[in-house]
Amino acid sequence: MQTLQVELAERSYPIYIGAGLLAQAGLFEPHIAGRQVAIITNETVAPLYLQSLLTTLAGHDVTSVILPDGEAFKTWETLQLIFDGLLTARHDRRTTVIALGGGVIGDMAGFAAACYQRGVDFIQVPTTLLSQVDSSVGGKTGINHPLGKNMVGAFYQPKAVIIDISSLNTLPVRELSAGLAEVIKYGLICDEPFLGWLELNMAGLRSLDQALLAEAVARSCAAKAYVVGQDERESGLRATLNLGHTFGHAIETHMGYGVWLHGEAVSAGTVMALEMSCRLGWITAAERDRSVRLLLQAGLPVVPPEEMTPDDFLEHMAVDKKVLDGRLRLVLLKGLGAAVVTSEFPREILDATLRADYRALVNQLSD
């Protein structure tokens, strides 16, 4: 087992990474405030891992809330089901909420914990690669709005993140690839040598090699823990973690939540950010192409939806959380491993990026 630390003064917390951690009561107990525990999970994860966690928490008064599965259910209506479960079972302020599932469950359970009786403790137990390397760490919680993804929420840190690599053995291939988009992101924004490691080990990661997965998760979490420790509320550095997300969130919102998985949309959005960085002269065509090849190697889509027009993108990007004083800010690259957040770009470069022929780029790479 590896242990990392998110350094946030009195709100610091550990990230535990290893196989079989779901069964280790000793990891959970120090982070549970009282007798009551509420496990929030979904219809897909519950049959796989709920009983194991119930056994681990046998000494507690446990309530289980099983939600429908999918990004389409990351809504106020589904959030109310969590509050219904907590109130029906009369959970008090010393209850601990445990999020058992992927990013949707983690975001909603964390938001519910932030709101319930004005804040109760919670623990993240992420079961997808994407949630293990990204959404479970850093305290971003929330739900979607029809006009924008993750536009309603709160910064609320967990007491611990317990990552059981074994849970990835049941992850569908498409979900695994979606998580790899966020893993690749860390190499692009702050760890160029990691890209070389991923190029060498992508086949092993996709075949669920446990040691390689543990290494990829640990390296990703270490990068995120550092960034969050420097900038908890995304006033500067933390925004670089959103490489590809402004374009990607536009795709998710326009196509309908859940049609494209988050990691799939981020992958296509990352290619758009790479293209724009290249057009600005900040990265070379060779660096762009290397990055696109790695996303393809991970089994990810790299071409945005052909039915989306530049105006469609601009409409959704106008409500992105990084917009300040009416100015769109984007995460771009000034070299592999060197991300910047900027509003300083010519409008014609953005327009050219939105109109670019990404299908032709892929065909060029496959020649």
Catalytic residues, by residue number, are 118, 140, 182, 224, 234, 238, 242, 245, 249, 262
CA 18 to chain centre: 19
The two structure tokens encoding residue 32: 């549970």
Q: Which residues pair with 339 in a beta bridge?
A: 333
- Whether residue 3 contacts residue 15, with contact meaning beta carbons closer than 8 Å, is answered with yes
In 19-157, where does DSSP find H-type helix? 25-28, 51-56, 76-88, 103-115, 129-130
Distances (CA, A) of 136 to 98, 149, 195, 238, 350: 11, 17, 22, 15, 32
Residues 54 and 48: their CA atoms lie apart, in Å, by 12
* Residue 127, number of CB atoms within 10 A of its CB: 28
SS3 18: strand
According to DSSP, residue 128 is labeled S
Q: In one letter, which amino acid is 301?
A: P
Q: In one letter, which amino acid is 221?
A: C
Nearest to 276 by CA among 313, 301, 233: 313
